[in-house]
Amino acid sequence: MIDTLINKNNPLDENYVPEDLVVTDNNEGNFHKYVDPSLKPSVTREVYEAFCSLQEDAKKDGINIIIDSGYRSYDYQSMVFDSICEEKGVDYAFEYVAIPGTSEHQSGLAIDIAVLNDGVYDDNITEESDVYKWMIQNAHYYGFILRYPKGKESITGYNFEPWHYRYVGVSLAINLYEQGITLEEHHLKNSLTLKMGKEQA
């Protein structure tokens, strides 16, 4: 499951819910800005354990990374999509927000990151942010990839999102990082290799 391609062409079933979700924090004060303030950030246990290791090592470098958003149900994603449609229009929503069922967040394997220092919450992650620079250099060692990198918009179908990371396991994350490719390109490469193998058989 951790290497599953989830995008506009490969949606999850609307009833899919990960079995081993773990709450990452209590979201006191709703600083995660959820549409439903009672929600608490959660991810699968494997992702949580990997993130805790990442978080601990980042703190040694003076960066306190937190999970800003983790698992989102199909219904919650519908609420988010509808609210963006009302606020900024349908065209904007289709360009910047995943349609329900196509969000990686539903898998429990995707996280949006933020920084929390001395009680000050900051989710304005940019290329110039220290947290972004740290993640780019280190995230793959913990199994995470920058899911929607700059320059790959036509491949991923999404604009550059410096805050959105996906857990794919250490081995694959390092492989993708070293090749400089996205999960879409990895799956396409594998499918072409498989097709060629069948043609030669």
Strands (E), 18-163: 21-23, 42-44, 65-69, 110-117, 120-122, 144-146
Is 14 in a helix, a strand, or coil?
Answer: coil
| 43 token code pair | 């991810």
- DSSP state string for 68-89: EE----HHHHHHHHHHHHHHH-
What six digits make up the tokens of 117? 């220092």
Please tell me which residue in 28, 56, 86, 161 is annotated as part of the active site.
161
Q: List the beta strands (DSSP E) in 75-163.
A: 110-117, 120-122, 144-146
Distances from the Cα of 183 to the Cα of 7, 16, 25, 147, 177, angstroms = 10, 21, 28, 8, 10
Q: Please tell me the distance from the alpha carbon of residue 128 to that of residue 22, in angstroms, as a whole number.
A: 31
Asked whether the beta carbons of 186 and 166 are under 8 A apart, the reply is no
87 an active-site residue? no
Q: Are 24 and 71 in contact (CB under 8 A)?
A: no
Q: How many CA atoms lie within 13 A of 105 on its CB side?
A: 25
Active site residues: 161
